Structure 1
Amino acid sequence: MLKLIMTTKPIISYLTWAIGGKQVMGGIRVILEQTHHLLERGYHVNILTHQSKEIPWFDSKIKPIVIPEFSTDIPKTDILVASYWPTAYEVNNFTDVRKYYLVQHYEPLFENNSVAFELAKNTYRLPLKKLTVSHWISDKLEKETQQKSSCISNAIQPQKFQLPEGFAVNKPEKTQILAVASDMARWKGIEELFLVFKKLKETRTDIEITFITSDKRINSHHKQCIDNFIVSPIQEALIAYYQRADLFIHTSYYEGFGLPPLEAMAANTCIVAVDSGGINDYAKHNENAIIVPARDYDALFLSIYFLLDRPAIREKLAFNAQKTAQQFTWNKVIDKLENIFLEDSSN
């Protein structure tokens, strides 16, 4: 029997807890990118939120609609997508819409309170179709709930991080080491990162270390281990730091996907990263990256030290990394997302 495919495009609404502000947030950027590309493909798209501020770092053509928590008074929609664990409970209350849950991380890890941890964990058992950004998340959810999810992956705009043909970066004399962390959360591996930086500074005089974050707070003893402390640079400046770096270090214990390492790879930078779960969808040890176990301070230090004296290996890893990063485009993600929405519409 032939399956009839729906020809009228469904109205799609994303529900976020908060959106906007000066700080670039990876999870919010993903929502903005998905909605932007769906809009470009001719869909009517809404962003529903409980808190909204201006978004100076993203040119969105969709004006967020602010609604009260647990309100069911929303614009007409066919598809409603939860995007953070509290919004999953809200979406679950709706009827007469197709309900989805965009899972960008294992969100119980964000919660220090045991009640909030269990509430977040319970959302994965709600009857919402799960859309994940990595196979690590899909596998983790299936182990916990015995439910399948759809991995749509994640993306960047690779061309934004590449130098124009014929251009080269004027590299400083010292080898440039870069790390980027959105905040100082313990699971970001910040303590291990600065222990490594301290030891590198004690043993090498030929390096310059730059740390970029959106969190202004930094311990004085951490600051002594680095040369440059940069807070919330504009996108163009961040890209320039990626391009100038010889080594990019990423130390999160857990990442649903992890955009900064992929951005560094797109900029033709060699990366040394902790096995954070989601990173395995694009980073392969000894092929386009060096991957070390989480919390293994010695392995992280030795891997960086090894690469400092081997520019040829760094260049080979960086070349392969850039080729990999070019495959992670928004068109591919939206193709998967669109197929899921349209197939479900026809059932």
Structure 2
Amino acid sequence: MKVNFILPGVGLTGGNRVVFEYANRLTKRGHRINIIYPTIPSRMSEKWTAPKPRIRQVSKTLSRSFTSNEVDWFELNVPVQQIPTLSPNFIKYFEHGIPDADVTIATAWQTAYTVSALDDSKGEKVHFVQHYEIWDTWNSDEAWSQVSSIAEDPSSYPIKMYEVTPVDSKAKRQKELVDRAYELPLTKITISSWLKKLLELKFNQTVAGVVTNSVNHSVFYPEDTIESQVISLLIPSRNIPWKGEREVKKLIKEIRTSYDVEIHLYGNNLEEGDYIDGTIQHSNISDQELRHLYSKADIFVLPSWVEGCQLPPLEAMACKCAVVATNVGGVPDYAEDGETASIVPPRKSGALIEAVGELIEDDEKRAHLQQQGYESVKDYTWENATAQFEQAIQDCS
């Protein structure tokens, strides 16, 4: 098959990593894959109106004018090409730059509008839904307050958020655009059970396939590390409310007060002074450096309020690190509480702190989660996931 993936950009994101893993492996299976993205980046959130992100965006736009492939963070083995814009208002002027194909896949809500506007020569039109992409709503405490008033079970909040109307006009407009994108007549493939349920219940869509994210075991595996007498925690820092930044800071303060532990934080553009003194911060690290951190850590913590199907817990388990994660995204699909991970409700700092404290104190339980988590992810391979993804798009074409 000839398959096009339409991306809003090619920067370092979990969603892009997933697409690139599939692109490489579909190519090995004999398919002709192309990745297309715009020279002028799509705006993902209203936060891009802030000065620093806009300056970075302009810088990236200029750099894209002088390169045909800016994917320098992933070993991508498929053709990557740019078109000036993905705007559905102008795509007719530029779609000659998109190869004819059997299937063309939108990978974000903006690109769903683009794919929907393409000529039939681009093949079957598919929307690969990797999250409910209402970013500004997820960041709103007011929205979370509203959803908690209409649902008792925190695990149902992400789906129930469909029923919430943001107070902020920009967030409201973004949510309207995202919701409308999911209603477009594109075949849907997604990555977790909750997203399938969302698309079916709230958008009246038929989902052609659910393919859970996986682990690149050639990159993420247990390294031999020097054993330490001090328990080590590893926490991603995203500096975004819905990623659980507030809970991270409360956790760090409480854990450092109660225990003698080593706390490592990692993330892109991590700035000194963002956290309590005494934490060890790792900014803009490679996959190899991340593997070393996973392998060295005793406990990995992911406190997100919502996710599509998060990769870090899978990667941490593949490196024999005990995982504490909120019960959101893909966690209900690939983890079992008390057996392969310690799972807590989202937005509950007390529960998160208690779970981490228990693993610090209980050597036996921590070792159990490390081993059982490691065993459980052995079958989560990108090869297996690609076979499922391949079948899903073949069924569509």
TM-score (norm 2): 0.79
Shift of 1:273: 0.8
Is contact 2:200–2:206 with CA below 8 Å preserved after alignment? yes
Q: Which residue of 2 aligns with 1:172?
A: 228
Distance 1:147 1:217 in 2: 42
Q: Which residue of 2 aligns with 1:293?
A: 345
Is contact 2:104–2:115 with CA below 8 Å preserved after alignment? yes
Amino acid at match of 2:27: L
| Alignment of 1:18 onto 2:70 | no
| Alignment of 1:271 onto 2:323 | yes
Shift of 1:256: 0.4
Shift of 1:13: 0.4
| Alignment of 1:108 onto 2:166 | no
| Alignment of 1:252 onto 2:252 | no
Answer 1 or 2: which has greater helix percent: 2
Shift of 1:341: 2.5
Q: Which residue of 2 aligns with 1:153?
A: 212
Is contact 1:197–1:226 with CA below 8 Å preserved after alignment? no
Query: What are the Cα deviations for residues 54-113 of structure 1, in whole angstroms up to 9, with x where unaligned?
Result: 222212122311113223222121210001111100101123220001111111235662
1:82-161 map, 5 Å: 82-96=106-120, 97-110=123-136, 113-149=171-207, 150-161=209-220
Equivalent in 55, 59, 82 of residue 66 of structure 1 = 82
Higher mean displacement: 195-204 or 241-250: 195-204
Distance 1:163 1:146 in 2: 43
Distance 1:160 1:282 in 2: 19
Percent of residue pairs bearing the same amino acid type: 29
1:321-336 map, 5 Å: 321-336=373-388
Q: Which residue of 2 aligns with 1:198?
A: 253
Distance 1:155 1:337 in 2: 12
Aligned to 1:12, the other structure's residue is in SS state strand
Distance 2:227 2:199 in 1: 44
Is contact 1:177–1:249 with CA below 8 Å preserved after alignment? yes
Aligned to 1:178, the other structure's residue is in SS state strand
Is contact 2:270–2:281 with CA below 8 Å preserved after alignment? no
Higher mean displacement: 311-320 or 111-120: 111-120
Is contact 2:213–2:385 with CA below 8 Å preserved after alignment? yes
Equivalent in 260, 285, 289 of residue 237 of structure 1 = 289
Distance 1:177 1:281 in 2: 24
Distance 1:176 1:120 in 2: 40
Higher mean displacement: 280-289 or 145-154: 145-154
Shift of 1:225: 5.1
Is contact 2:33–2:79 with CA below 8 Å preserved after alignment? no
Q: Which residue of 2 aligns with 1:163?
A: 222
Q: Which residue of 2 aligns with 1:38?
A: 26
Distance 1:223 1:300 in 2: 18
Amino acid at match of 2:134: P
| Alignment of 1:54 onto 2:70 | yes
Distance 1:202 1:265 in 2: 27
Consecutive unaligned residues in structure 2, runs of 5 or more: 40-63, 138-169
Is contact 1:275–1:291 with CA below 8 Å preserved after alignment? yes
Is contact 2:222–2:318 with CA below 8 Å preserved after alignment? no
Is contact 2:310–2:329 with CA below 8 Å preserved after alignment? no
Amino acid at match of 2:95: T
Distance 1:343 1:114 in 2: 35
Distance 1:63 1:55 in 2: 11
Distance 1:293 1:72 in 2: 45
| Alignment of 1:283 onto 2:335 | yes
Distance 2:366 2:218 in 1: 21
Tell me how large the CA RMSD over aligned residues is: 1.6
Distance 1:215 1:121 in 2: 31
